[in-house]
Amino acid sequence: MFSQSFFHGSRVDLTIGDLIVVGHDSNFRRARPLSWVYFACTLDAAIWGAELAVGDDRQRIYVAEPSGTVFDDLNLTDMFPGNRTMSYRSRLSGFPCGIRITAPAVRPVRRRRGLAVT
């Protein structure tokens, strides 16, 4: 049986075995520690997270394995009922996500009239 894969998009340089933990600055705003760790079931949502992340480092996508309870990401499910983005979060302090696989780069996405075009 296959397990569900979760993706995390960021500009932070992590390696296999590293943990994504609560208490670090947000991907989107510096000096704002998060009490949640965010991840998604779709690669598109993770790419979007990496594209929006603050910083000059390159965008990275990680396959992460949550070890805490997984909740819908209410920041998105309130805007898109039914969790169509398949975005989630976990609050388990200290060990919410372990990195299983890293992708060195995200392929560029061209935008045209609000749509992502590959």
Domain containing residue 101: CATH number:
3.20.170.40
Separation of alpha carbons 105 and 82, rounded Å: 30
* Per-residue pLDDT, 1: 57
Give a yes or no: residue 113 inside a domain: no
Q: In this structure, is residue 114 part of a structural domain?
A: no
Report if residue 115 sits inside a domain: no
More confident residue, 33 or 59: 59
Q: Is the pLDDT score of 107 beyond 70? A: no
pLDDT tops 80 at residue 62: yes
The more confidently predicted of residues 61 and 114 is 61
Is residue 39 one of the residues assigned to a domain? Answer: yes
Domain boundaries, position 67 = 6-107
Whether 112 is in a domain gets the answer no
pLDDT, tens digit (0-9, with 9 covering 90-100), for 79-97: 667 777 788 888 754 444 5
Arithmetic mean of pLDDT, 50-75: 83
Q: Over 80: is that where the pLDDT of 41 sits?
A: yes
Share of the chain above pLDDT 70, in %: 66
Domain count, the chain: 1
**Is residue 1 a part of any domain in this protein?**
no
Q: In this model, does residue 116 exceed pLDDT 50?
A: no
18 inside domain: yes
